[in-house]
Structure 1
Amino acid sequence: MDPAASSLIDRAGLDKAKVRELTSRGLEGADDGELFLEYKQTEALAFDNGRLKQATYDTTQGFGLRAVKDEAVGYAHASDLSEGALARAADAVRAVKGGYTGTYAEAPGRTNRKLYDDVNPLGTPAFDQKVKLLETIDAYARAKDPRVRQVTASIAATWQVVEILRADGETYRDIRPLVRLNVSVVAGDGDRQETGSYGVGGREGYERFIEPSMWQTAVDEAVRQAMVNLTAVAAPAGEMDVVLASGWPGVMLHEAVGHGLEGDFNRKKTSAFAGLMGQQVAAKGVTVIDDGTVQQRRGSLTIDDEGTPTNRTVLIEDGILVGYMQDRQNARLMGMKPTGNGRRESHAHVPMPRMTNTAMLAGDKDPAEIIASVKNGLYAVNFGGGQVDITSGKYVFQCTEAYKIENGKVTAPVKGAMLIGNGPTDLHRIGMIGNDFALDPGIGTCGKNGQGVPVGVGQPSLRMDKITVGGTA
């Protein structure tokens, strides 16, 4: 049976009445909970060093049954979607309630909004056309510059069908496409080698991303980054003003600030932002949102993995902390409303508060004016990996593309720059905010407690004053 056209319960050959009975039995006396059903197809093709190196396809299905009582969670999951497995799961999750009875939470609201099509991206184009595309990307990248020594091109897609069944009989359903195209190059000049990479993606089919205008732009950008890094000098070190470019550099905001605004960390008071609701936590003019409702964006969802419609949630408004990202359990325990941020990696994982598309909104400054305001500093255009301590707010981020700013002008590219600081403290160091807001091109994946989910980030250009830069000079 077609998973897009039929219930996953029907597809598994189960009796709907029996499934509802088992779900109700497992959640009897619980504060909240649900049966989460999933069917997912995944593919990935990678072309590396002149040949097809990887071609994988996977189909997974299963369920997760969750019972929530106060702060406790009982969870059972299986890839065996059968009456016997559901019965065993119901018996397992009942243990969390300790014999107490509770009032089952009100069901999530409904939405008629649809942020993406039901299209299954794995079917089109055909496999041989996908391989040919990767070969073409490889050839195009190598022809761009004789210094290109290695090219890695990949495409990946998932198509996920989810159904959520509650003990009160309410059901929710969502069909989620997701694609991504990535290009990475290694360029060399003598003994020196440097890398550059670029990717695009979103919740749609492959069609837009395999157009020459799109994949050529990705290749051009990856090659440009590699060539810039080939000429990079040692990064300066010390305390200096830093200008962040728009778009992908919002990943630093995501890590250094976003995680600290998730409900569970604040309920448990392990976030540096705990207890600061209504207080000034950033410079005036700083507004940060989490928006899961942007059409076809990688981090967007019509409903979250508990059935709650996603929202545009304001977290910081003009420097004041006004909101957290919430799933149902933490919202209830904190006396707040769910915000549609209950997310899980798969049926084998419990939901928790997670970001969707997290961004700082635009200001009124011209980006050129921001750069001109810095006498000697750093212009950070792209970021790689980073580490953040949620409790203290301390972070370290690696710049994969950065430049010196000297007397208000962008000059030499630098290598090895690291930004070191404290998220809650450095929000107060934002001195200028640009009018050039942009979201990232659709490549983000966020990790938390061993779970990875697709996300988006964004911001305008902005200046942060007196940031510690670790360098190699």
Structure 2
Amino acid sequence: MLDPRKFLYRSLDPEEAKRLASKHLAHCDDGELYLQYSASEAFGFDDGRLKTADYNTGSGFGLRGVAGETTAFSHANEISAAAIDRAAATLKLLDPAKGQPAPPPARTNQAMYTSDDPLSAIPFADKVALCQTIDAAARARDPRVAQVAVSLAASWSVIDIVRADGFVAHDVRPLVRLNVQIVAQDGDRRETGYHGLGGRYLYDDLFKPETWNRAIDVALAQALTNLESVAAPAGEMSVVLGPGWPGVLLHEAIGHGLEGDFNRKGTSAFSGRIGERVAAPGVTVVDDGAIGSRRGSLTIDDEGTPTRRNVLIEDGILKGYIQDRLNARLMGVEPTGNGRRESFAHAPMPRMTNTFMLAGNDDPNELVSRVPDGIYAKSFGGGQVDITSGKFVFSCTEAYRIRGGRIAEPIKGATLIGNGPTVLTKIRGIGNDLELDEGVGICGKGGQSVPAGVGQPTLLIDGLTVGGTATA
């Protein structure tokens, strides 16, 4: 079997990498030489034909030294001793470490996914043919289908993390994704539906007819539902959030506020509140990067720390934050396996992996029956959150009015407006139907994007502000 590390060490010997890390990082509190090779491809099938087909490979390193609270970081897209020596000039800006260097991460033999390369396993023509097949099948589903867009993408990343103390961690990360978007038209009205799925596995699952047919069915059902939608009400009302992808609201409105850097600096609405009640009884929120093959999972984070299940809120009580090595050391706690970076050209920071709320004991239908007048939000699009205040705004891509305890007509243009910490205290029911999203999440922070997962059970929330175009 081909050793993936050969892509990292074409112009640099592994022992030389260790020597260089020891030479340049010996006087730092912490840091690493991060080596990466990556390959990616993307196919875009739109308007009945292939519009884009991209393939990229790249490699490089990031050299990071940490002294106290100060980080020096440099990078280059050339893995060689000469390039690393040049990059090390940045480290001279650091004050020499005054204490013992931080210990290396723990070792692990876990593997959250295969190391096989998804890009090379299936011929180019077969990938294009899949997009074409999905396009044709979607158009044949219903005469109201006016437009179909299919995208297929994959990446394969090989990394080594080399420390001054001789520690070397290695990971190989596959990632695939399929997106189907359908525009349905009835008369002059056009509406859109979407479904995507993927994870850290090979293309095989996406090529199964039952997989891509379901993606078509979900996207088409959403588009046809939206064709029947009426203007969303406006005002404060009870909201039921569906399971799975609506957990993106939890991710944005609450998850970012539980990241270590914001809390060390005191800029999060959750700063200094460990041990306090921050949510209704029964609310337990975890971040777990050690779930097999999930989009947000990692065998190790980008500092070499093994990922794990971190309980952030337990039965409504704040238990901890997610940490990288820097913020954990400065806060006097353990790293949690959440030091993540977009690529070798970025320094790590504390980021979520798969963040979700655990299931409760309530029947989802019974939660809806408790609402005399409100809305049911099944799927979300974009959203914004202010970390300091916790205020958020989210738009619904599929939502329904609840009337007399029953789901009624679909609505269009609904936005949910609230405050993350406050929303946690307004949860009045937690369904027994926990679902994780199907592998489409992308998390942005500090100019970096990384894959992430979300999830939740059905939730009943009292008193959310709903923005819409009709009166309640």
Under TM normalisation by the shorter chain, which class is it?
Answer: over 0.9
Q: Secondary structure at the match of 1:208?
A: helix
| Residues 340-419 of structure 1 mapped to structure 2, 5 A cutoff | 340-419=337-416
Selected match of 2:50 from 49, 52, 55 = 52
Letter of the 2:13 partner, please give it: D
What residue number does 1:309 align with? 306
Contact 1:45–1:155 under 8 Å retained in 2: yes
- In the TM superposition, residue 189 of structure 1 has moved relative to its aligned partner by 1.1
What residue number does 2:89 align with? 91
Q: How far, CA to CA, are the matches of 2:291 and 2:15 in structure 1? A: 36
Q: How far, CA to CA, are the matches of 1:248 and 1:407 in structure 2? A: 26
Q: How far, CA to CA, are the matches of 1:310 and 1:418 in structure 2? A: 34
Tell me if 1:335 matches 2:332. yes
Q: Secondary structure at the match of 2:417?
A: strand
Tell me if 1:460 matches 2:457. yes
Q: How far, CA to CA, are the matches of 1:102 and 1:89 in structure 2? A: 24
Alignment coverage as a number of residue pairs: 470
| Residues 126-205 of structure 1 mapped to structure 2, 5 A cutoff | 126-205=123-202
- In the TM superposition, residue 15 of structure 1 has moved relative to its aligned partner by 3.4
Selected match of 2:232 from 216, 232, 235 = 235
Contact 1:325–1:355 under 8 Å retained in 2: yes
What residue number does 2:418 align with? 421
Q: Summarize deviations over 1:420-440 as a string: whole Å, max 9, x none.
A: 000001100000000000000
What residue number does 2:80 align with? 82
Q: 1:272 to 1:405 in 2, by over 3 A?
A: same
Q: Summarize deviations over 1:296-316 as a string: whole Å, max 9, x none.
A: 000000000000000100000
Letter of the 1:105 partner, please give it: A
Tell me if 1:252 matches 2:256. no
Contact 2:278–2:424 under 8 Å retained in 1: yes
- In the TM superposition, residue 28 of structure 1 has moved relative to its aligned partner by 2.4
Question: Structure 1: which 4+ aligned runs deviate by more than 6 Å?
Answer: none
Q: Summarize deviations over 1:66-102 as a string: whole Å, max 9, x none.
A: 001111100010001111111011222232x224544
Selected match of 1:24 from 5, 22, 27 = 22
Q: Secondary structure at the match of 2:18?
A: helix
Q: Secondary structure at the match of 1:219?
A: helix
What residue number does 1:62 align with? 60
- In the TM superposition, residue 124 of structure 1 has moved relative to its aligned partner by 2.5
Contact 1:3–1:39 under 8 Å retained in 2: no
Q: How far, CA to CA, are the matches of 1:469 and 1:169 in structure 2? A: 55
Contact 1:28–1:94 under 8 Å retained in 2: no
Q: Secondary structure at the match of 1:222?
A: helix
Q: How far, CA to CA, are the matches of 1:229 and 1:16 in structure 2? A: 56
Scaled by the length of structure 1, the TM-score of the pair is 0.98
Q: How far, CA to CA, are the matches of 2:39 and 2:83 in structure 1? A: 22
Selected match of 2:319 from 317, 322, 340 = 322
- In the TM superposition, residue 7 of structure 1 has moved relative to its aligned partner by 4.9
Tell me if 1:109 matches 2:106. yes
Q: Summarize deviations over 1:233-264 as a string: whole Å, max 9, x none.
A: 00011000000000000000000000000000
Contact 1:26–1:89 under 8 Å retained in 2: no
Letter of the 2:30 partner, please give it: D
- In the TM superposition, residue 12 of structure 1 has moved relative to its aligned partner by 2.2
Q: How far, CA to CA, are the matches of 1:182 and 1:102 in structure 2? A: 50
Q: How far, CA to CA, are the matches of 2:453 and 2:96 in structure 1? A: 42
Consecutive unaligned residues in structure 1, runs of 5 or more = none
| Residues 214-225 of structure 1 mapped to structure 2, 5 A cutoff | 214-225=211-222
Contact 1:26–1:91 under 8 Å retained in 2: no
Q: How far, CA to CA, are the matches of 1:216 and 1:137 in structure 2? A: 8
Q: Secondary structure at the match of 1:38?
A: strand
Tell me if 1:277 matches 2:239. no
Q: Secondary structure at the match of 1:424?
A: helix
Letter of the 1:26 partner, please give it: H
- In the TM superposition, residue 210 of structure 1 has moved relative to its aligned partner by 1.1
Tell me if 1:211 matches 2:208. yes
Contact 1:38–1:161 under 8 Å retained in 2: yes
Q: Secondary structure at the match of 1:117?
A: coil
What residue number does 1:471 align with? 468
Letter of the 2:107 partner, please give it: R
- In the TM superposition, residue 24 of structure 1 has moved relative to its aligned partner by 1.9
- In the TM superposition, residue 19 of structure 1 has moved relative to its aligned partner by 2.7
Scaled by the length of structure 2, the TM-score of the pair is 0.98
Contact 1:30–1:103 under 8 Å retained in 2: no
What residue number does 2:260 align with? 263
Letter of the 1:217 partner, please give it: R
Q: How far, CA to CA, are the matches of 2:187 and 2:100 in structure 1? A: 70
What residue number does 1:289 align with? 286
Selected match of 1:440 from 437, 442, 466 = 437
- In the TM superposition, residue 13 of structure 1 has moved relative to its aligned partner by 2.9
Contact 1:435–1:461 under 8 Å retained in 2: yes
Q: How far, CA to CA, are the matches of 1:447 and 1:3 in structure 2? A: 32
Q: Secondary structure at the match of 1:397?
A: strand
Contact 2:186–2:227 under 8 Å retained in 1: yes
Contact 2:67–2:96 under 8 Å retained in 1: no
Q: 1:3 to 1:447 in 2, by over 3 A?
A: farther
Q: Secondary structure at the match of 1:226?
A: helix
Consecutive unaligned residues in structure 2, runs of 5 or more = none
- In the TM superposition, residue 113 of structure 1 has moved relative to its aligned partner by 1.1
- In the TM superposition, residue 3 of structure 1 has moved relative to its aligned partner by 5.1
- In the TM superposition, residue 375 of structure 1 has moved relative to its aligned partner by 0.5
Letter of the 1:67 partner, please give it: G
Q: Secondary structure at the match of 1:161?
A: strand
Q: Secondary structure at the match of 1:142?
A: helix
Letter of the 1:339 partner, please give it: T
Contact 2:68–2:97 under 8 Å retained in 1: no
- In the TM superposition, residue 25 of structure 1 has moved relative to its aligned partner by 2.5
Q: How far, CA to CA, are the matches of 1:288 and 1:100 in structure 2? A: 37
Selected match of 1:123 from 103, 120, 123 = 120
- In the TM superposition, residue 112 of structure 1 has moved relative to its aligned partner by 1.3
Q: How far, CA to CA, are the matches of 1:221 and 1:419 in structure 2? A: 23
- In the TM superposition, residue 451 of structure 1 has moved relative to its aligned partner by 0.4
